[in-house]
Amino acid sequence: LFSAVEMAPRDPILGLNEQFNADTNPKKVNLGVGVYYDDNGKLPLLECVRAAEKQMMEAPKARGYLPIDGIAAYDAAVQGLVFGADSEPVKGKRVATVQALGGTGGLKIGADFLKRISPSAKVLISDPSWENHRALFTNAGFTVETYAYYDAARRGINFDGMLTALNQAAEGTIVVLHACCHNPTGYDLTPAQWDQVVAATKAKKLVPFLDMAYQGFGSGIAEDGAVIGKFVASGQDFFVSTSFSKSFSLYGERVGALSVLCASAEEASRVLSQLKIVIRTNYSNPPTHGGQVVATVLNTPALRAQWEEELAGMRQRIKQMRVALVEKLKAAGVKQDMSFIAQQVGMFSYSGLSKDQMVRLRSEFGVYGVDSGRICVAALNSKNIDYVCESIAKVVG
């Protein structure tokens, strides 16, 4: 049965973890996967999470099946965070939200649902994008192409190219957009550029699918979510996937969501019924723990305030690391101007290093980043940053 099964390539991001774990170099540093570590190099357990779990332990509950679409209080909290609890779409019940297995799960539920309702649509992702966007939509049966995004020469966004691609896309094309903290480049659109993107997707009748995996890691929770309000105001139907992996440091709990904004409450209830079929036929219903933790934090004012503070702390530390990285690369002898790193936002920096240089960083120095040149700035700390900068200086010459 399996004699003809081919060996699949390693995942370009998660596969690096396997290689990193097997590396015996005592100085190794993992800047591959998008995970936030504190200044001691430790994965944080947020205080708000600890407090919510304590509450849950004090009143333990039996673990029945959750509804197919997840914990109602969780879905409501997601809607509040993404759209605003008092927003018109939430009050008017125009949003269908389901709990999902991380942001990836939200994307997958959305992709499978879209394949049912728009089987011949194409998908456009940014060039470059998170590696899994292409794989995920391809595996859902779509043809995936790209819209221009990164401009290496200008160290920024090829916005004209992006708009041209959107304006040339056929009606019904699904456009995957990074709501904030673009992964992998770290370059986000300005509010004025977003206005133009929103106008283009509306004029061309495209289907926006916003991936919001890093809300709170750019400028703030509201600031990073502002783009949602622009799409709502434009009167378009659209999709939003949410991830709490990073913002709650709950990577292993797989807590995320998919929200679909519909034209009416009646339409949203029909859409929800279809999303539930996608879920039921994939994994039946979501797990209880992570969703309950997030719902408890978001729905308890004191814990929510604590979360916002802890998230701000992570955001600020990343910014400090960006500034330090620019200074220390220069001090280590890197001639080229690396100040762009401090202008990028979110967890990642597209460093401009070539694949060969990334491979050398890994094999000679045990510094792991993605072959594309992406490094996770959120994994730098005051103890490993000098070594990382010296290693980069050696490979860039």
> At its nearest, how many Å lie between ligand LMR and the CB of residue 250?
13
* Cα atoms in the 13 Å half-sphere on the side-chain side of 83: 30
For 140, list phi and psi in degrees, rounded to 5. Answer: -80, 0
Closer CB to ligand LMR, 130 or 142, in the complex:
130
> At its nearest, how many Å lie between ligand LMR and the CB of residue 245?
7
Residue with tokens 């986000």: 188
> At its nearest, how many Å lie between ligand LMR and the CB of residue 183?
5
For 47, list phi and psi in degrees, rounded to 5. Answer: -60, -35
Catalytic residue among 69, 108, 130, 328: 130
Pairing of strands 238-243, 255-261: antiparallel
Binding footprint of ligand LMR on the chain (CB under 6 A): 13, 33-34, 130, 132, 183
> At its nearest, how many Å lie between ligand LMR and the CB of residue 59?
33
Cα 238 from Cα 236, distance rounded (Å): 6
Pairing of strands 238-243, 207-212: parallel
Closer CB to ligand LMR, 89 or 290, in the complex:
290
**33 and 13 Cβ atoms separated by less than 8 Å:** yes
Give the residue nearest to ligand LMR (CB). 34
Nearest partner of 195 among 155, 163, 168, judged by Cα: 163
Instruction: Please tell me whether residue 217 adopts helix, strand or coil conformation.
Output: coil
Among this protein's residues, is 130 annotated catalytic? yes
Other residues' Cβ atoms within 10 Å of the Cβ of residue 80: 15
Catalytic residue among 75, 112, 211, 224: 211
Residue with tokens 């927003």: 87
Closer CB to ligand LMR, 34 or 291, in the complex:
34
Catalytic residue among 246, 307, 328, 371: 246
Closer CB to ligand LMR, 33 or 341, in the complex:
33
**197 and 230 Cβ atoms separated by less than 8 Å:** no
Estimate the crossing angle of helix 102-117 against helix 131-139, to 10 degrees.
40
Structure tokens at 17: 């973890």
> At its nearest, how many Å lie between ligand LMR and the CB of residue 13?
4
Cα 385 from Cα 379, distance rounded (Å): 9
* Cα atoms in the 13 Å half-sphere on the side-chain side of 140: 30
Closer CB to ligand LMR, 34 or 89, in the complex:
34
Q: Which residues contact 95 (CB under 8 A, 6 or more apart)?
A: 79, 83, 89, 259, 260, 261, 262, 268
> At its nearest, how many Å lie between ligand LMR and the CB of residue 312?
21
**279 and 285 Cβ atoms separated by less than 8 Å:** yes
Nearest partner of 393 among 340, 338, 343, judged by Cα: 338
Among this protein's residues, is 194 annotated catalytic? no
Closer CB to ligand LMR, 13 or 157, in the complex:
13
**215 and 242 Cβ atoms separated by less than 8 Å:** yes
> At its nearest, how many Å lie between ligand LMR and the CB of residue 249?
13
Q: Where in the sequence numbering do the catalytic residues fall?
A: 130, 211, 246
